[in-house]
Structure 1
Amino acid sequence: MQAQEVADTLDTVHAAEVSSVTEDTPLRNASFIPPFDFPITFSGNFGEIRANHFHGGLDFKTGGTVGKQVHALADGYISRIRVTHGSGYVLDVVYNNGYSTINRHLSAFVGEIARRVKDLQYEEESWEVEITPEPGEYPVKAGQVIALSGNTGYSFGPHLHLDMIETETDEYVDPLPFFMKEVKDHTAPRAEGIMLFPRPGKGVVDGKQARRAFPVRPAKTITAWGTVGAGIRAYDYMDGVHNRYGVKTVVLEVDGEEVFRSTVDRFAYNENRYINSWTHGQYMKSFIEPGNHLRMLHASNGNRGWVDIKEERPYLFVYTLSDALGNTSKVRFTVQGKRADILPVEHREKYVFKWDKVNYLQEPGLELVIPRGMLYDDAWLNYAVRADSGDIAFTYQLHDTRIPLHGACDLRIGLRRRPVEDMTKYYVAGVTARGGKYSIGGKYEDGFMKVRIRDLGTYTVAVDTVPPVISPVNQTQWGRTGRVVFKAKDKETGINSYRGTIDGKYALFGKPNSISGNLVCELDPEHVEKGGKHLVEMTVTDGCGNQTTEQYEFVW
């Protein structure tokens, strides 16, 4: 069976999967109260386009402040308690009505849970901890205060992030339908741009075989020939606020026939990276690449949403954009069929990776294995290798722009030079378009650095022997505020771990907000004796094991 036939077969199966999911698994007849006792507004909605993932829930605004009481949405029990650098203070609740929630970026837990978490942090000498209580250990009633809202973890401002998960399927679902009566919205989504994608070797747009972006109302006639795909950049808006949100439903019709529909209403965790196939930047594609099995996408034209422009006439494209409350808008534009030459893709056979096969690449000093299911479409690699006499390893350009993979794949890069004896100081570095390097990690093994990569980009090997830098923040205020704060930075492999002591005993330093990155210790009389001079020692270690220790005195 040819690759195209395999793709078409998968498309048929995929369409059937979409139909069964959307028609046979509706939201259960459950009811919830809002998490707050004040009018609810949102700073983010379900399914927004994020880097490598969908936004998994609703972001509730908290008036720009932390410490708002978060209420249980129904009767149930607390199932998981965590403190992480990514999501801050996190509380999972299983409800008796078939759903569970994850409450992220909290400022504090309450009652016995708060005490238990703190005790565990000191016991494990770690800011990041996790507790899985017994199902009946912490029951909750609808309206009960279960935590306080915050701005912890990877958070750009005070808010509550609420994920809602269908317990039976373990899938993320849109929480908004449960709060419809609390939300007033008459503002429809708005488009900000369109994009056309000529299929490699099979289509052209405005005479060229490269994707092109256009304004919503193009000033000039768009021409195309062969097979092209469309995409749209659009956002939803809500009454009374200035935030922009993801669009729930996008429908594309061509000449009055529907060719594609996306409905962002549910997804499984392992579907997250399919967002890299569905989107190009902030543009949502209206066609489905053969390796993309995201169930919220549905192509109805038998061609995975691709459009064949094969007559010299105008083709009318109409987008319909809808939000969760039924507000809709339309975008219309015309593509004029204009006969043009379509050249086959120039390629070297060994650098063509097939989406439905295992792919290997072996070059001097390089080994790459991409298992089947990692690529979303065939890839014609623009492979190149660069060498400098002083380099530790060659620099390998697997492709000139990033091609995302659905999972991690093994890459091995051979070392040409070893300027440092300690092999733990070497790391695989990704190389940006401007030549900057960032750490991917990796370990030395038999003359190679071995690492797992998630993108086909540009990679080399670098060495990091420079320890991190620790700086005190507002040191003169430590005693008055009861907060000891450090800033730790590392230019190459980043901060891997940290540990602080006060007067020789473990001190609970954490990273309450990962955007600022500050390491903070809230002084506690139970652990630090108040009324005198104290010695604080902070040790920070980077990704290659380089370590810095600094000591400071303060009075509290």
Structure 2
Amino acid sequence: MKQYIAAFLLACCIQGYAQEKKQVTFTPPFDFPLTLSGNFGEIRTNHFHGGLDFKTGGVIGKPVHALADGYISRIRVTNGSGYVLDVCYYNGYSTINRHLSVFLSPIAERVEKLQYENENWEVEIIPGPEEYPVKAGQPIAWSGNTGYSFGPHLHLDVFETESGEFIDPMPFFRTKIKDTRAPKADGIMLFPQAGKGVVAGKQENLTILPNHEQPVEAWGIIGTGIKAYDYMDGVSNHYGVYSVVLSVDGNEVFRSTVDRFSQNENRMINSWTYGQYMKSFIDPGNTLRMLKASNGNRGLITIDEERDYQFLYTLKDVFGNASRYRFTVRGRKQPIQPLEYQDKYFFAWNKTNFLHEPGLSLAVPKGALYDDVNLHYEVKADSGAIALTYQLNDESTPLHAGCELRIGLLKKPLADTTKYYIASVTPKGTRYSVGGIYENGYMKTNIQELGTYTVDIDTVPPEIIPINKNQWAKNKKIVYRLKDKGTGVCSYRGTIDGKYALFGRPNIVKSYWECELDPKYIKKGGKHIVEFTVTDNCGNKTISRESFIW
């Protein structure tokens, strides 16, 4: 993504930066009333939702319009976002249009030509500013349901071209969207700080309902968080909350404003949130600019008087609709057990940390942790295992940057070390690959969270399943479903009658790989042989050969 932003900015016109952005207006992307299925900054796994999801009436093929005068700056086909079109506008902003169904001519022909030349479904083109100019309101593509998409829609990202930062597009379309509904809270959580605070007699997080009437007893240093969603007129969807303000005894202590973020800040969502709860305090290693604490203690509250503390949450959306939730924390002096830990299992957020154990080494660089971590380290042995299972922490701790993990092998049943991989083990015992390479008796890889890991073997090739083979000719489409229980599909390639065939994965939610039968590449009127080869991430390969008449 960082490399893309650099290329993206390089491609954009310098004269666009000089114009006054405060006067910017955008033409709507569609010529019908705008409704949303997702808004900017919604909580997603390891990232913020970077734009707006516009509904398209449950169908594909709606014309997508340019928002202003500019030019098409990037063209892509990807598994994750499907057909993608980037536009650089002369007003200082740029957009990414994702999940499209079709590119317009001549872009469509250029993309197809490159796919066949590269023998790859996924391609990228970065044209010059003069190649594909656009005017405000001009159709630039057709909406779709490609990539990681659960239904037809347009995902629109808006960037500030000069900085490359994601910004909330909603203010550009406020007059085109109706919203009189305020955000609504579903729950509030209190976080006693380890070794420093207690809530309801325990040093455990406590959840209460919004507008909880009975005071909650606490002592020491605590934080709070809120689970809340926004809503809009005429639709049943829920959205992320634009603004959250926490006040205690009439004084603001914390504010979040979800209006912009950089790519480097994206994973910091893991520090700000706890599940679906938005924390109203800031971890010491979290530099997310949309969070502001004004009480000198990162938004944490010190309960050190035996009295009632009045807490107030104010939630707002971009349209100014607001809701308020009150609750009381009653200070009651009580003992707080100090935090107990072993030095080697205590990782400080502001330094590089190492863990060396028999059969394991871990290096967590400075800047990877958002807060101090007291590891609940355990080793689990299985007589039949090729490696021990290492629990780095009992609660998975996300990292801002990857760190190197090395796990030693207890035995080596296979000589072919490409079949080994490091597996992350979920609390339910499910394993999934995090990759890895063999080196001097160890498997090593980079991990993104402190969880539970072991080493496993994958010798089972992927499974190739033809879908409705008897309908291939009628539907003018060859369809396969692929399954791999180990490390997942790494690569695939198809041929028809010995010539390259363009297979792709238009919608990865459906897990189908498809090839459109096109008389430009396949001669009609006879029997054909399709060969499909699939390789997983441990090099296991399956080849399927099928015949069909078309």
- Short-chain TM bin: over 0.9
Q: Would the aligned equivalents of 2:212 and 2:326 in 1 still touch at CA under 8 Å?
A: no
Pick from 404, 407, 410 the counterpart of residue 416 of structure 1.
Answer: 410
Instruction: Supply the distance in 2 between the matched residues of 1:474 and 1:458 (Cα, whole angstroms).
Output: 41
Instruction: Supply the distance in 1 between the matched residues of 2:206 and 2:499 (Cα, whole angstroms).
Output: 61
Q: Would the aligned equivalents of 1:511 and 1:517 in 2 still touch at CA under 8 Å?
A: yes
Residue in 1 that maps onto 2:70: 76
Instruction: Supply the distance in 2 between the matched residues of 1:494 and 1:340 (Cα, whole angstroms).
Output: 52
Matches within 5 A, 1:22-61: 28-61=22-55
Instruction: State the SS of the aligned residue for 1:486.
Output: strand
Instruction: Supply the distance in 1 between the matched residues of 2:483 and 2:157 (Cα, whole angstroms).
Output: 32
Displacement after TM superposition at 1:369 (Å) = 0.6
Matches within 5 A, 1:296-335: 296-335=290-329
Displacement after TM superposition at 1:97 (Å) = 0.2
Give the counterpart letter for 1:376 in structure 2: Y
Residue in 2 that maps onto 1:272: 266
Residue in 2 that maps onto 1:342: 336
Pick from 147, 150, 154 the counterpart of residue 141 of structure 2.
Answer: 147
Instruction: State the SS of the aligned residue for 2:23.
Output: coil
Residue in 2 that maps onto 1:403: 397
Answer yes or no: is 1:201 the counterpart of 2:195: yes
Residue in 2 that maps onto 1:255: 249
Matches within 5 A, 1:78-477: 78-218=72-212, 220-477=214-471
Answer yes or no: is 1:523 the counterpart of 2:517: yes
Q: Give per-residue Cα distances to partners, 1:354-411, cap 9 Å, x unaligned.
A: 0001000001111111110000000000001111222111111000110000011111
Gaps of 5+ in 2: 1-19
Displacement after TM superposition at 1:29 (Å) = 2.4
Instruction: Supply the distance in 2 between the matched residues of 1:305 and 1:159 (Cα, whole angstroms).
Output: 38
Q: Give per-residue Cα distances to partners, 1:141-167, cap 9 Å, x unaligned.
A: 111111111111111111000000001
Displacement after TM superposition at 1:488 (Å) = 0.3
Answer yes or no: is 1:539 the counterpart of 2:547: no
Displacement after TM superposition at 1:217 (Å) = 3.5
Displacement after TM superposition at 1:554 (Å) = 1.4
Instruction: Supply the distance in 2 between the matched residues of 1:396 and 1:516 (Cα, whole angstroms).
Output: 34
Instruction: State the SS of the aligned residue for 1:530.
Output: coil
Residue in 2 that maps onto 1:22: none
TM-score norm. by structure 2 comes to 0.96
TM-score norm. by structure 1 comes to 0.95
Instruction: Supply the distance in 1 between the matched residues of 2:32 and 2:353 (Cα, whole angstroms).
Output: 55
Instruction: Supply the distance in 1 between the matched residues of 2:490 and 2:111 (Cα, whole angstroms).
Output: 22
Q: Give per-residue Cα distances to partners, 1:189-231, cap 9 Å, x unaligned.
A: 0000000000110001111101111111336431111000000
Instruction: Supply the distance in 1 between the matched residues of 2:288 and 2:63 (Cα, whole angstroms).
Output: 36
Answer yes or no: is 1:504 the counterpart of 2:506: no
Give the counterpart letter for 1:387 in structure 2: A
Q: Would the aligned equivalents of 2:21 and 2:92 in 1 still touch at CA under 8 Å?
A: no
Instruction: State the SS of the aligned residue for 2:434.
Output: strand
Instruction: State the SS of the aligned residue for 1:245.
Output: coil
Instruction: State the SS of the aligned residue for 1:237.
Output: coil
Instruction: State the SS of the aligned residue for 1:120.
Output: helix
Instruction: Supply the distance in 1 between the matched residues of 2:439 and 2:253 (Cα, whole angstroms).
Output: 50
Percent of pairs with identical residues: 65
Residue in 2 that maps onto 1:488: 482
Displacement after TM superposition at 1:27 (Å) = 6.4
Q: Give per-residue Cα distances to partners, 1:390-444, cap 9 Å, x unaligned.
A: 2111111000110000011111111111111110000000001121110000111
Instruction: State the SS of the aligned residue for 2:298.
Output: coil
Q: Would the aligned equivalents of 1:365 and 1:414 in 2 still touch at CA under 8 Å?
A: yes
Instruction: Supply the distance in 1 between the matched residues of 2:399 and 2:53 (Cα, whole angstroms).
Output: 28
Q: Would the aligned equivalents of 2:403 and 2:448 in 1 still touch at CA under 8 Å?
A: yes
Displacement after TM superposition at 1:168 (Å) = 1.0
Instruction: State the SS of the aligned residue for 2:53.
Output: strand
Instruction: Supply the distance in 1 between the matched residues of 2:461 and 2:414 (Cα, whole angstroms).
Output: 15
Instruction: Supply the distance in 2 between the matched residues of 1:426 and 1:220 (Cα, whole angstroms).
Output: 55
Total equivalences in the alignment: 531
Q: Give per-residue Cα distances to partners, 1:34-88, cap 9 Å, x unaligned.
A: 0101111000000000000000000000000011110101100000001000110
Instruction: Supply the distance in 1 between the matched residues of 2:324 and 2:525 (Cα, whole angstroms).
Output: 68
Instruction: Supply the distance in 1 between the matched residues of 2:363 and 2:23 (Cα, whole angstroms).
Output: 47
Q: Would the aligned equivalents of 1:465 and 1:544 in 2 still touch at CA under 8 Å?
A: yes
Residue in 1 that maps onto 2:8: none
Q: Would the aligned equivalents of 1:28 and 1:98 in 2 still touch at CA under 8 Å?
A: no
Displacement after TM superposition at 1:93 (Å) = 0.2
Q: Give per-residue Cα distances to partners, 1:449-478, cap 9 Å, x unaligned.
A: 110000000000000000011101111111
The more displaced of 182-191 and 212-221 is: 212-221
Instruction: State the SS of the aligned residue for 1:273.
Output: helix
Instruction: Supply the distance in 2 between the matched residues of 1:228 and 1:473 (Cα, whole angstroms).
Output: 56
